[in-house]
Amino acid sequence: MSNTEKRLSDLSRRGFIGACAATVAALGATSLGCSENNVRMAETGELEEVEPEWKPVVCWAHCGGKCGLKAYVKDGTVLRLKTDDTHDDSFNHPQHRACLRGRSRKFDVFSKDRVRFPMKRKHWQPGGGDNVNGDLRGIDEWERISWDEALDMVADEITRIKETYGNRAILGSGQQPTNRTYVDYEMYIDFPDFFIKGLEFFNVLNLYGGQVSHYGTGSAGSFQNVPELVGFGTANAGGGIDMLNDRLDARNCEYAVMVGVNPAWSSDGTTLWANFVPMRDAGCKFYCIDPMHTDTAEVLGAEWVPIRPGTDIAFLMACAYVMITEDDPKSNPLIDWDVVNRCSIGFDAESMPEGADTERNFKDHILGIYDGCAKNPEWAEEICGVPAGKIREIAYVLGMENKTALLCGWGPGRCNDVDNLPQILMAVGCVLGGHFGKSGHMTGSSLRDTSASGGNALINPGWRKLPCVPDPVDDCIQDPLLWPAILEGRYVYNGLGQFLEGEEREIDVRCIYNYSLNMLSRTEDQIKGIEAYRKMDFVVTHALTFNPNAQYSDIVLPVCSPWELPPQLGMFTGREAAFLGDKVCDPLWESKSVTWIGRELLARWGIDPDLAYPYSDEQQSFYQISGTQIIEDDGKTFSPLVTFTAEDIAALGVEGEPQEGKISYRDALKQGVITVPRSESDNHGHIAYEAFRTAPEENPLASESGKMELYCRRLEEQTSRAGWGVVSPVPEYVDDQKFGYKATFANYEAREKGPYPFQLFNPHYPRTAHAHFDNILELREAFKRPLFISLEDAESLGIETGDTVLVENDYGRVVRQACVTNRIMPGVVGLPHGGWFEMDEQGNDLGGSGATLCGSVTGGTGVSGYNTQICSVTKVDGSPEDWERPVAMPECQKDEEE
C-alpha cells in the first residue's frame, strides 16, 4: 500500500469511527470528540442518516496566495476537498482555485502528527537549575498530562521566572505591532491574520508585565523598510504600499521585466492565471531575471536571463548606465526627463537636496565620475553573470517609449547587502523610464495575490475588536541576530523596527513562549537556535502539529485549527475577493482555542481575562464578518457585504444589530468565496501614482522630500544610527565578502574556488508555505524538496539525479537528494524554502531546512539574507527520503486504541 493510500485509508477509518459515534460514545471510547453524529433521531423516534454537506473552509497558510476551498463534511470528518466553483471561470472573473497545498489541508487537520493532548517533557521539572535538563530538548521522552496540570505548570513557571528575573527574561514568539505596521495601540487588532496565527495571545503576556519581542524582514526583505524612505509607493487603504496598476491595465503592457517573480510556485494558481496569462495572450514579451528558469517563465514563454543571487542591484545599475549614456531626447529617447525634473530629487548635482554633497548625485555615481568605477554593462556582467549585450537590450526595453512593467518579487530583497534594491528599482523603472502613473506602465514589488495587480482592496475585512495591549517591555531583538543575542546575553536595541539610536543592552532570556510563528524553523542559524532553546529554563509551545518548536519544548499545549473555530475570513482577501470559512467540527481530541488558553492563564495570574478577550470567539467572528465592506459599482462607496437578520443574530448567540448587505449570512456561509466581478469598463481600475505624477507637490509621497529620492538622506541617517551598518543614500552594489559570488573563491583573480564554491538560495516551493505543510506525507511525496544543481556542476562532482548529497557551510549541514537540471545557473544551487529540520546524531539536518545553512548576519535595514549563502556539495551514501518518514510522534499522543 502506498503512503497516499495508507493515509486515505486512515482517514476513511476516522470516518467510520465518526459514523459509529453514537455507539462508541455509549462505550466511552470516542477518539475524535466531534459535536455531531451522522445519525439523529427522526420525528418517528427512529434513527435517521445525516447526509454529508459541502462547507467552505479557510486555508490559513501564509503562502502568498489565497484560494477557495470546500470540504465535504460528514460527522465532523472531511471526506474530500474541492476548490472554488462558485461561478464560471474567466480572466475577468477568475475562480480562486486551490493549489496542492490547500488541497492537502485535510491531511494536516486530521494528521497523525496532530498534537491531541497536553504533554510534558519527561526529564523537565519546574524550578530551573538542575530540574531543566535542557540538553535533552529535542530527544527526550514525553508524558501526557491534564490541562489543569499543564496550565498550572505554565502559569507557575512563568511567575517564578518573572519574579526572579523580570519580564525581560520572557521571549514571546509573536512579532509585536509597531509604529511601522498596520496596528495602532489606540485602535484594535484589525487584521484577520492576527486571529488565525494566534498573535492575539501577546495581549496575555503583556497584561502580565510584558515580554521581549522580536522583529524581522523575513518575507519582505529590503522592501519592508526602504520604499517609504525613498518615496517608492503610496499608502493604500489596507495599510500597505501601493506600487502597481490594476491587473486589467497590466494587459496593456508590451514588455514585462520580472526580477525574481515566480507566482507558479509561491502563490496559488489564480495569480498566474488571472494576472499574468492575460498579459501574455495580449502580446506582452516577458524577461525572467532569476537564478532558475522558473515554472512561471515556462508558462509565460519568457526569455530566461540567468543571474547570480544577490546581484540584482548591479544589473539594474548597469541598465541605468545605458539609459543615461545612450539617451537622446530626439533620436533615441530612453529617459523621461519630465519625470526626472518634476518627480524626483538627486539625479544630478543641480537636483540634490540642500546641504547634501553634490558629488554623490545619482548620475555621476552611475557614471563613476568621482569613484572611478563606471557602472556599465561590462562591470555588471562580471558581478551578476548577465551578458553585457543582454543588459543593453533590457535597458532599451525599459526606455520611456515602451509600455513596460518592471516587476520585482521579494525574494531578491531577502539577500545580504541589498538594502538599496527598492531604490534602484524605482530609479530605473519609475524615474528614468517613467513607468508609473499611466496606463501600461508600472514599476514595483510584485508578490502574493496582488502580483502584477495593485490598488485598494475592493472588499475590506471587518475588525474583531480585540484590544491591542501595549507591551511594558520595550526590548526588541532583530530576527537574524536573535539566537546570538540569547546565547551571548547582549544585543543592540534600536526600537521596534524604528531605527532609533543603537543601544547595546544586556539580556538574560530564560523562557520562550511559542504562541505563533514556527520561530525555530523560520529564524536564521538554526543550530544556534537549538542551542538557545536548550539554554532556557522553560519553553512552552502552542501547537497544532508536532512541529520543531513543539519538539524542542517542555510543555506543549494542543490548539485547534480554524476548521474547529467559529466562521471566519481567510488571512488575506486579496483585492477582489473575500474567503469565508465555516466550522467543520468541534475541537478535536483535547485541543483548545488560543482564546481559551489565554483566559485560563490570566485567571491563574489573577487578571481579568476580559481585558484581553472582551468578546467570545463567536462574537469576534460576528464583528469581523458583519463589519466586512464591499465596493459599490461607483468605485467609491463601500457598504456591508453580509446581511444579518435578527434571527441570524439570535441563532448565533451574539450581540449585534441587523443589517442589509449584498448577500445573506446563510448564503455567504454556503458560498465561501465572494468576489467582485471585473470588466474593462468598470469603475474599479487603478493606475498607481497617477495623482502624484500629475501634481507631485499636491500629492506628496512618504519620503522626506515628498518625491522619489535617487539620493535619500534619511536612508543613510537612520541606518547609521541603528547600528547594523550604514546604507548609501544613492543606490550602491555592495560586494558581499562573506556570502556573495566572490566569497565562493579562495583566489578570485585566479578564479580558484574555495571550500564553499556554490552560491545557495532558497526559492519558495509548492511543497510548503514557509514552515506550513512540511509534515504532510502526500506533499513530501509529490515534491521531494531536492537540491537543484546544474548539469555542468553535477558532472564535475560525479552527481546524478537521485544521488544523496551533503550541503555544508560554516552554519550547518543538510542532506538532500540531488535534482540535476539545466534550469539553474552554474555555480548556484537551490534548496527550497520551508523545510522542517530533523537532526540526526551527527548533526546533519535530514529535513532540508534552509535556515540550517543561513548565518546570523544582517545589514543596514535589518534584512534576513536567506538567498545569499555559500556552501559545498558532496555526494554521500544514504537516503534523505523524508517523504517516506512521517513525523515521529510521542507515544503519549496516541489514542488508547492505537
Helix, strand, or coil (residue 318): helix
User: How high does pLDDT run on average in the chain?
Assistant: 88
- Would the pTM of this model clear 0.75, i.e. be above it? yes
Q: Does domain 741-884 have CATH number 2.40.40.20?
A: yes
**What values do phi and psi take at 735, rounded to 5?**
-75, 105
Condensed to tens digits (0 to 9), the pLDDT of residues 132-149 reads 999 999 999 999 999 999
The one-letter amino acid at 121: R
Residue 754 has a pLDDT of 96
pLDDT tens digit sequence for 1-53: 333 333 323 333 233 223 333 322 222 222 222 333 344 444 555 555 678 99
pLDDT of 777 reads 87
Quote the distance between the C-alpha of residue 510 and its chain's center: 28
The two most distant CA atoms of the chain are separated, in Å, by 94
Q: pLDDT tens for residues 806-845?
A: 999 999 999 999 999 999 999 999 999 989 999 998 999 9
Task: Classify the phi-psi angles of 525: left when phi > 0, otherwise alpha if psi is within -120 to 50, otherwise beta.
Answer: left
Query: What value does the mean pLDDT take over residues 530-550?
Result: 95
The burial class, CB within 10 Å (0-12 / 13-18 / 19+), for 731 is buried
Residue 233 confidence (pLDDT) = 80
pLDDT for res 736: 81
> Residue 63 corresponds to which cell in the numbers above?
503562502
| Cell numbers placing 165 | 528575573
Give the span between the Cα atoms of 525 and 519, in whole angstroms.
12
What residues does each domain of the chain span?
3-112, 119-211+467-574+577-675, 241-456+687-722, 741-884
Which superfamily is assigned to 241-456+687-722 in CATH?
Dimethylsulfoxide Reductase, domain 2 (3.40.228.10)
**C-alpha grid cell for residue 772?**
506550513
Rounded CA separation 167/313 (Å):
42
Instruction: Please tell me the distance from the alpha carbon of residue 178 to that of residue 198, in angstroms, as a whole number.
Output: 17
Local confidence band at 177 (pLDDT 50, 70, 90 cut-offs): low
Rounded-to-integer distance, Cα 224 and Cα 413, Å: 9
Confidence (pLDDT) at 9: 35
pLDDT digits (tens, 9 = 90+) for 389-430: 999 999 999 999 999 999 999 999 999 999 999 999 999 999
What integer pLDDT is reported at residue 100 of this predicted model?
87
pLDDT 10s digits, 744-802? 999 999 999 999 999 999 998 988 888 888 888 889 888 988 999 999 999 999 999 99
Alpha-carbon distance 898 to 888, whole Å?
15
Q: How far apart are CA 883 and CA 107, in angstroms?
A: 14
The CATH code for residues 119-211+467-574+577-675 is 3.40.50.740
